[in-house]
């Protein structure tokens, strides 16, 4: 199973860019990297997914270096509403290894 | 369209009783997942259904836990002889097909075992 390691928590201020890095040293060739966001009392919500290099959508960017042993979720200009837990998942078509969410990173955005 | 729904939203039971939790996935989604989340913790994978294939039960914590999926749609997670440590939020998710597809989560069922 591809194990992921993330910081337990991070603090930021409104308007700043936040980068959350996830380590996944034993990522497999067919594994994708996916990030989810979870607010209190809600189920996680998909943010972004990538395989290599850089992926950008309307809410975030995902940077993946050539060796794919880590990935960085970048949230531009965070607001108070971005306070949540962010989970990094690594896995592919082999059932089971996509399904380890881990503890996630608790992001606290302050005014 | 309708998202993933779960019922009941809250369940309080006594230790030793059996409980059934229900999940209605998004129509057309062939993959269905059950997770458990204890207070302040991350998500713990329980079981995964993909189409008509045998489910991946590798995450079930004990033989008191079981799940079925009827007709490739609705799923029921059953916990027999509940224990206090079973208290948690049970989350269901579905995705279009493979595990690489986006998972859409339901609101969860909060289970409290007294």
Give the pLDDT confidence score for residue A97 in this predicted structure.
Answer: 58
Task: Report the pLDDT averaged over residues A44-52.
Answer: 93
* Closest-CA residue to B90 (of B112, B68, B69, B72): B112
| Residue B91 with chain A: CB contacts under 8 Å | 43-44
| Residue A37 with chain B: CB contacts under 8 Å | none
Give the pLDDT confidence score for residue B40 in this predicted structure.
Answer: 82
* Closest-CA residue to A106 (of A75, A71, A70, A82): A82
pLDDT band at B67 (very low <50, low <70, confident <90, very high): very high
| Residue B103 with chain A: CB contacts under 8 Å | 36, 44, 46
Q: How far is B34 from chain A (nearest CA, A)?
A: 10
Cβ-proximal residues to B101 (8 Å cutoff; 6+ apart), any chain: B31, B95
Q: How far is A47 from chain B (nearest CA, A)?
A: 9
Bigger pLDDT: B100 vs B113: B113
Task: Report the pLDDT averaged over residues B83-109.
Answer: 90
Task: Report the pLDDT averaged over residues A78-100.
Answer: 82
Give the pLDDT confidence score for residue B57 in this predicted structure.
Answer: 86
């Amino acid at each position: 199973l591809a194990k992921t390691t993330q910081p337990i928590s991070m603090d930021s201020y409104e308007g700043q860019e936040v980068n959350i890095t996830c380590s996944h040293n034993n990522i497999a060739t067919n594994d994708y990297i996916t990030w989810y966001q979870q607010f209190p009392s809600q189920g996680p919500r998909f943010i972004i997914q990538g395989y290599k290099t850089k992926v950008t959508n309307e809410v975030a960017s995902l940077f993946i270096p050539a060796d794919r042993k880590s990935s960085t979720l970048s949230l531009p200009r965070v607001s108070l509403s971005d306070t949540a837990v962010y989970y990094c998942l690594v896995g592919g078509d082999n059932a089971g290894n996509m399904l380890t969410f881990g503890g996630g990173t608790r992001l606290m955005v302050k005014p | 369209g309708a998202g993933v729904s779960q019922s009941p939203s809250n369940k309080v039971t006594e230790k030793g009783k059996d409980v059934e939790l229900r999940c209605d996935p998004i129509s057309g989604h062939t993959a269905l997942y059950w997770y458990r989340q204890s207070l302040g913790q991350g998500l713990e994978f329980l079981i995964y259904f993909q189409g008509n294939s045998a489910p991946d039960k590798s995450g079930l914590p004990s033989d008191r836990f079981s799940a079925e999926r009827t007709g490739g749609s609705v799923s029921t997670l059953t916990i027999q002889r509940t224990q206090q440590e079973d208290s948690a939020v049970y989350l269901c998710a579905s995705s279009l097909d493979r595990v690489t597809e986006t998972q859409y989560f339901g609101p969860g069922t909060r289970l409290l075992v007294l």
